[in-house]
Amino acid sequence: MPRIAGTDIPDNKPIRIALRYVFGVGPKIAEDLLQEVGIEGHVRANTLTEEQCAQISNVIEAKFLVEGALRRQISQNIGRLRDIRCYRGDRHRRGLPVRGQRTQTNARTRKGRKKTVAGKKGVKGQK
């Protein structure tokens, strides 16, 4: 398995797909990287030489925030929003959707599994 920017990438996939396994590298960045280094996107990752892998790693480290540094920056940004007590920070703190989505239904990804609350007990014979 080739190692690029501190991440093992799968060797049986085309390099333009394999680069996306690096946190912070998506389709556009992967294509731009390969164009800059001069490698065709359809080449399999296991056919790259050590020199080509080093070139890709150097370009990634020089131009982009990836892996640990990017994760750290994202968590610091969320922490800053929490500290200044803005609306988005409060939504992060409560574990609710941040970008205006509805919460009456369809917010299970952020809210987690349903917490069943006992319903109102009805008294027989009363209307």
Hey, how many other C-beta atoms are within 10 angstroms of the C-beta on 20? 15
| Pairing assessment for the beta strands 3-4 and 7-8 based on DSSP bridges | antiparallel
**pLDDT for residue 123:** 72
Is domain 68-100 classified as CATH 3.40.50.970?
no
**Contact status, residue 1 vs residue 18, Cβ threshold 8 Å:** no
Instruction: Provide the b/e sequence for 61-92 (b: ≥16 CB within 10 Å).
Output: eeebebbeeeeeeeeeeeeebeeeeeeebebb
pLDDT digit string (tens) for the chain, length 127 residues: 788 888 888 989 999 999 999 999 999 999 999 999 999 999 999 999 999 999 999 999 999 999 999 999 999 999 999 999 999 999 999 999 999 999 988 899 999 998 888 877 777 766 5
Task: Check: CB of residue 99 under 8 Å from CB of residue 105.
Answer: no
Domain parsing of the chain, residue ranges:
3-64, 68-100
Rounded alpha-carbon distances, angstroms, from residue 38 to 28, 31, 47, 48, 122: 15, 10, 15, 12, 73
Among 104, 91, 9, 22, CA closest to 48: 9
Class of domain 3-64: mainly alpha
Q: Which of 12, 11, 16 is nearest to 56 (CA)?
A: 16
Q: For position 65, what pLDDT does the model report?
A: 93
pTM of full prediction above 0.75: yes
